[in-house]
Structure formats: C-alpha cells, structure tokens
Chains A and B, each alone.
Chain A
Amino acid sequence: MKRRTFVLSGAALGGALLVGWGAMPPRDRVGRRGPLTSTDNEVRLNGWIRIAADGRVLLAMNRSEMGQGVHTALPMLVAEQLDIGLDRIQLEQAGPEALYGNVAMFLGALPFHPDDREPGHETRGVRAGRWFVAKLARELGINVTGGSSSIADAWEVLPLAAATARAELLGAAALQWRLPVDELRIVNGVIEHESGVRGHFGEFARQAAALTVSARNIHVKPREAWQVIGRQPLRTDVPAKVNGTAVFGMDVKPEGLLYAVVRHCPMLGGSAARVDVDATLRRPGVERVVRLGRTAGATSGVAVVARSTWHALQAARSMDVVWRAPPHDPSVGLLDTQRIDASLEQAAREAQDNAGGVPFHRRGDVDAAEAAAARRHEAVYHAPYLAHATMEPMNCTAQVRDGRVTVWAPTQAPTFAREVAARVAGVDVDAVDLHITLLGGGFGRRLDVDYVAQAVRIAMETGGRPVQLVWPREEDFTHDFYRPAGVAVMRAALDARGRPQALRMTVAGDAITPRWIARNRPAWATRFDAPDKTAAEGFFDLPYAVPHQRIAQQATRSGVPIGYWRAVGHSHHAFFTECFIDELAHEAGQDPVAFRLSLLDQHPRFATVLKLAADKAQWGRPLAPGRARGVALHESFGSIVAEVMEVSLDNGRPRVHRVVCAIDCGTVVHPGIVAQQMEGGVIFGLSAALYGRVDIRNGEVVQKNFHQAPMLSLAETPVIETHIVPSTLPPGGVGEPATPPAAPALVNALFALTGERVRRLPLLPPPA
C-alpha cells in the first residue's frame, strides 16, 4: 500500500470511528445500581445515592472540600429533590469510576468568545463544540476539583439522580401500601399518606431498587417549588473546623506512622549530587534517608524519615547535601525572573509587530482601522510569578504493603493521584486505595500530585509502615508550580472622539495545560503544544464592542514550573485588560463606568453587573478628601463580577477601605457561600496585587517563608459587601471569579487618586 493510500484510509477509518462514536448516546451520568446492596444495610439506588437502613441518604461526593463549600452545596441539590434535611445526608467519597469525572471543567476550557455564547443565543459552533467536549469528557471521566466547576458539573446530574431515587422510593411505598403514588408525599425524609401511614426511606429502599420507573415518571422538582436551593443552611463542615476535629491531610494518623520531611535541590530542576546519609542516620530519631527523583514534575531531593515530624525537620535541615544545578545553557545561566520578564516583553512585542502568536480572537480589519485612526494609545503591562501558599503545606500519607498502596491525600486531582501512586509503586491503578481528606486550601496547587508521588516513593522504603510526608514551608514556597508571569502589549486605535475602533493586543507567557498534562498523564504528552485557552483567557474574550480586534497569545517556554493558580489566566489578564480599558476611558475623557457601559450594548448581563456594583458603591458621589474609587468588570468561569474599591494612601502605601462586589453567577445555590467566596477571592486578589511576587535568582526562588512573602492581614482587610444579580440561568462558578477584578479595581482607584498609572505588579516593594 502506498503511504498516501494508507494515510487516507487511516483517516477514513478514524473518521468512521468518530462518526460512530458520535452517534452513540452520551454516557449515562446517573449510574447503574450495580450490586443491589453495597453492605448488608445499605441499598444503592444509582451511582450517586444509597439509602441506609435508618433512612439516611448516603451521597457519593466526587469533589474535594477546600473551603469552597462543596460539601454543603452539592448535598443541597440532593436535599431539594428528596425533601430530606441536610443532616440526614451523609457524604461518602466517590470511587474512581469514570461516572464521577468532571465534565463542566472541560467545557470551561473551550476558547469561545462572549459574542458567540450569549446564553440562549449560542452559535452553532459553540453548541457543537460543547456537545463534543461534554461527550469526550464523560468518556474520559477525569476527576478533578477545579475551574470553579463543581456546581455547574453537578447541576443536572445530581438533581436527576435524586429525582430518580425519589420516584423509585415513592413507587415502592405506593406498591407496599396499595395507594396511588400521586397521593404520597415526602416530609423531611419520611414518606406519608393522609390516611396516616408513614415510613422513612430505609423501609422502602429494597423494593425501590427492584423497581424500574419509566423516565416520564421521574420529575425533577421545578424552580417554583424549591425550598433548599437559594437558601442559606449552615455549612456542614463548620462544626468540625471550630473544635479541632476536622481531618486535613496532616491529621491522618494510621497505626505505626512514621514521618518524613523533604529537602529539594534549591535550584529548580536540579538534583542532589552527594548526600551524607550516614551522618543523617545518626541523628536522633532518624530511620531512613530516601532520595527522590523528578516524578510528576517535582525537583529532585532527599527525604528524611524519622519518628516525629520534628525529628525529620531537624535532620533534613542539617543534612549535608551537595546540590547539582539543572542542565542549562551557560551563556544564558540559571533561571532568573528578571531575564524572563525581559524576554517575555520581547516576545510579546515581536508577536504584536509581526501578527504572530495564536490569534484567539479576530474580527474586522485592524490594519485598516489603525491606518484610519485619529490616534493610538499603547501600554505594556507586567505580572510576576506567584505562589499558592496554601495554609496547609504540601503533605501526603502513604503505605505500601502486600502489593497494595494506600494513600491519604488532600488532593484536587484524585484521578492523577491514583495514577501517579500506581506508577511510582509499579502496581496496577486498581491496587491503589485513595482517601481524600479535607484540603487546607487548594487554589490549584493541589491539582498537582508531586507530593503524592514522593510519599509513595518513601513508603516503599519503610517496610510496610505508613509514612507521612510533610513539606516545610520553605519547600512549599520554593518548589511550587507557580502562576506564570506574563507581559501584555496592548494598542488601541481611537477615533477623533477617543472611542476605540481597534484593539491589537498580545500577551506572552508560558502555557500551563501542556506542562500539567505532561507531568500528570505522560502518555498524553505531545511534542508540540496545542494552544491553551488558559494562557489567553480573560484577554481575548472581552465583552466590549470594539469593531476591529486582533488578540493573540504568544506561548513561551521559560523553564519555571508553572501550574494553575486561583483564576488561572484570568488572574493577571484581568489586570491587563481592565486597567487598559480604564486608560482608554481616560483617553476618551469619560467616566470609567459610563465608558464601559457605552461599549456593553450587546452584553446586558455585563452591564447589569457593572451598574449594580456602581450603584451600591455610590459611584460618582463625592468621597472624603484623599480617597478615590476604582472599578473593574470581568467574566471568568461562567460568572461576571464587578468590583468597586475605595482607596487612600497611608504614608505612600495603598489602603483599601471598602470593596463592593456584584456578581451574576446564574442560579445561586447558596448565597452565603457566594458571599464567602467573593470576600475570599477579593482578599486573595488584593494579597497578590499588593505583595505577590516570586523572584528567581540563579535558579533559586528568593521568597522562602511568610516573612519574605507577606499576605494581606486582618488589619489591612477592607469592608467587603456582595450583591448578587437574580438569575434563572444555569449556575456559573464562584470560587475564582472574585479574584481577577481585585488588582485592576485597586490599580484603577490609585490612578483616580494620584493620576499615576501603575502597569506592573505587585504595588509594594519586597520586605527589606
């Protein structure tokens, strides 16, 4: 066969398979009953819901609780359909099956422009893309908690699973009592009939599991009848978090536990040339020294195993190690963030000047519009690398015994945690038992599983005893997967009245997703990186009506380990775009709110959010002398957020007094949790805007602990209020969308106060 014929027939076969796959119905997400009873006393009604003998509902929880309230909000969806109290719903960690994979997060990775996906008016391309990716994601079944996607992902499947269970339970009761099913009702988990018969779910679960209820008899409760969604029940995780009984990763204490502490090569990507193992073994309490490789993206290092974390910390700190620098070009030198920043600016400028990079958004004729313009306005913005700094340092507990691996991990990525554990231990993935604890913060850091790989590796050396690996804070700061640095070159062509006619914008930075896939699913690593939406999100997808646009992303390879950080690309792109829009308002001589509104005719949701924040902040009303307001508006993760900040200068330091947030996140499940996430997202964003930086010199991260990397303190925290736009659209995310507008709102307020435009973060110098 000629090569050409072979390739063509291969393509035809591939196409036929694809068409055939496409014609198959999407993978069911409610899940089968499986074994009729999971234990003697519990009955499985579907993949999500089991009924205990005492009538409690056991819900398969497929998302990690890291503060975002998912252990409360997801059960609310079930409580609504089953008319049972939250206190009667018990959470069980979902298994590794594809059923529990995340679909919504993959939908969020599609690079669609707001003009093409206005709710209810999506283009055919948007609909087709979503259909395809949803189907693919269902097949892949990758379970991760991220992308502010938990509610959106559960929004259809959990109510359907619960409504199905409800129909089956009612059907069983009707049969048992010989009563018409539509005369039965459920009151707080008890099925009742006006004749006086009543019984809890546990009394009907077995019969329910034997019933087949036709789809037309399954009724998901309509919005008008909601009694749980939209209310504010107390979070179920709070009592344990105020009395010390909540179990985070480091609180797991299996019998016979040993403790391990890691020291990585200080130079990112380097390794240990020589370790004085004998001297370390002679230190008090030390049991083992284990060298660690580069699995899952980690820098190589050495772990000390001891009888307490303290003994391991002491020995690791004093351990004599000769480090070896990573392979590098001597003419360039080791990693250096100043050099990277300059090279990013160069890459952005070159791509901007030569129509290079990947154009994520193109419309109209930018060249012609620039030629016809009365004038242009250009600006260059810079954002630094950032660390996650979760309050709970990286840790993982593992036990390798009898061919099985048990892992206790605070992880956002259970699929990859199991896979890496199996890879390291050389066992089948089915031989890995993963227990997910509460997460002491995630923010995207725990989408990586480097610390899981290390814990398993160490546990292979402890003779079957479990071992708890803890990273000292210094290792956490210096061996993160950092929010990538970025530089944006932005140019607007303005007409005689100062109205923007064209936008030519290019952002340069490393793309996270290809690196993340390569270290977590090595089998999927490709030689050439596909364009990564996260490297352009919040930059190319502006809602503003500017007729001519070319917005591109220039992917770079800086060599710094990078990862997903709360709000990912939006976290710095909103700073670039919302400050630049503010500059354009100034150029046009217009009020920043009025200017934005004049460009939002096509996007009423954005306009509504902006107006709400402006109204509640009394935008335009005079402030006390020495104070000014700034505004930013940004969409991310399916939600639109506007923030108005009121600032002053205190001895030259910015001081934020009040933040008014407005959000349209579609249907709200729990408004109290939305408010919490707005507060937390704003504070996270303010920490970064004021202080956030990771400097690398000679391949080594400079900031090693909180004294060198300040975070916003209680004393610096402004008053924050949240206003929610009522909506009947499907829910968007809330964990991340409050973070992106924080920096631009602050910087725009400082411009209003001082007339000086800051185009580089952070605002404050590093501590002396």
Chain B
Amino acid sequence: MQLQINGQTRDVPDDATDPSMPLLWVLRDVLQLTGTKFGCGIAACGACTVRVDGQAVRSCVTPLSSVQGRSIQTIEGLAGDKEPHPLQAAWVAHQVPQCGYCQSGMLMAAAALLDTTPEPTDAQIDAAITNLCRCGTYPRVRAAIKTAAAQLRPTRPPRGPLRVKTA
C-alpha cells in the first residue's frame, strides 16, 4: 500500500499493517514519524491530530483504509522547505510549549483552522481547538494562533521576525 504523506509517496508494507489499523500507529510504528502522539485512543484528547486533505482528524481513530489516496500532513510536514510555518514561528515567539507532548496536535488543529478561517474569532478558536493540554498552555495557544493569523493576512507587510512579549 502507498500513502501520500507530507508531499511524498510512502510505501507501507502490507504485512506490517491491516486496513483497520489506525493511521496513528502506521505513522508512529511503521513509518517512524513519531511527531504525532498517542494520548487516549478514543479521539478525546487530540494529541494525535494530523491533517487529511487539509482537515484536522484524530489519527488514533482513523483507519488506514480511509486515508488511501488522500493527502496526509503530519507535524513533520507543517514547515515549508526553508522556513517554519507561521504557526510554528508564533509558537516560538509566544513560548507556547511546556512539556510539549500535545503541541503537535495543537499545531495541526490550528493549521486546519487557519486554512478555513484566516481570521478566527475567540469563539471560533474555542470551537476548533478542543485538544487537551495538562500543562495549561491554552492562553498562549490562543495568542499564538492570533499572531499567526495576523502574519498570514495578505494586507500585512511581509513577514519579519516575530517579537512578542511573553510575560
């Protein structure tokens, strides 16, 4: 079987998987793409969030059979060729992560949000980012999404280094 992941075609040996195997474990254990995390196994925490055809999905309950021929993006593919995604830059500028374990999923959910909603309101961020974080990075997640959205806005001057006061 072949999968389209981060713009590349990846071979998935048939003997290592079965069609019901969740994408999470194909990514982590078969393809060694460990940036996508296991948190709960029931789509409740969002640590495993990846994008499939642009949409945020929880890969721990997404069977391999449902993503064949579709475009999968993981945290490893979020950045551009040369520079980080504006969300990643905003995450650094706001010093969002603490332990960091949930952050891949947060970033992928945020990336999907900004694609459909370039200028999200607080309510839209609340509705889209349902990922759990035990360290409590939520206030900075919200702030970083807004900063990235502002950077992505076409009317703004070209991106420069972000400077944000974090404390």
A: residues with CB less than 8 A from B are: 65-69, 232, 234-235, 237-248, 250-251, 253, 259, 284, 307-310, 313, 389-393, 438-443, 470, 472-473, 671-672, 674-676, 679-684, 687, 705-707, 711-715, 717, 719-720, 722
Contacts and interface: CB of A to CB of B under 8 A. Distances in A.
B130 A473 contact: no
B79 interface: yes
B16 A307 contact: yes
B97 interface: yes
Contact of A684 (B39, B126, B134, B141): B134
A244 B97 contact: no
B167 A440 contact: no
Given A470-B38, A674-B167, A707-B44, 6 more contacts: A67-B97, A243-B84, A308-B30, A391-B132, A679-B139, A714-B130
B37 interface: yes
Contacts of A391: 37, 39, 45, 47, 99, 101-102, 132-135
Contact of A243 (B75, B95, B134, B136): B75
Nearest to A392: B101
Given A250-B38, A391-B39, A439 B99 contact: yes
Query: Helix, strand, loop or mixed for chain B's interface?
Result: loop
20 contacts: A68-B98, A235-B97, A238-B92, A242-B97, A244-B35, A246-B100, A253-B32, A253-B34, A308-B21, A310-B22, A390-B101, A391-B37, A393-B38, A679-B136, A687-B134, A705-B40, A706-B44, A711-B134, A712-B136, A714-B126
B42 A706 contact: yes
A234 B107 contact: no
Contacts of B99: 65-67, 390-392, 438-442
B34 A250 contact: yes
A247 B38 CA distance: 13
B18 interface: yes
Nearest to B128: A714
A309 B29 CA distance: 7
A714 B137 CA distance: 9
A713 B134 contact: no
A672 B76 contact: no
A248 to B, nearest CB: 6
B167 A681 contact: no
Contacts of B140: 676, 679
Interface in B18-32: 18, 21-22, 25, 28-30, 32
Given A67-B98, A234-B95, A244-B36, A675 B134 contact: no
Interface in B99-121: 99-104, 107
B155 interface: no
A745 to B, nearest CB: 15
Contacts of A245: 35, 76
A553 to B, nearest CB: 29
Contact of A472 (B36, B41, B91, B104): B41
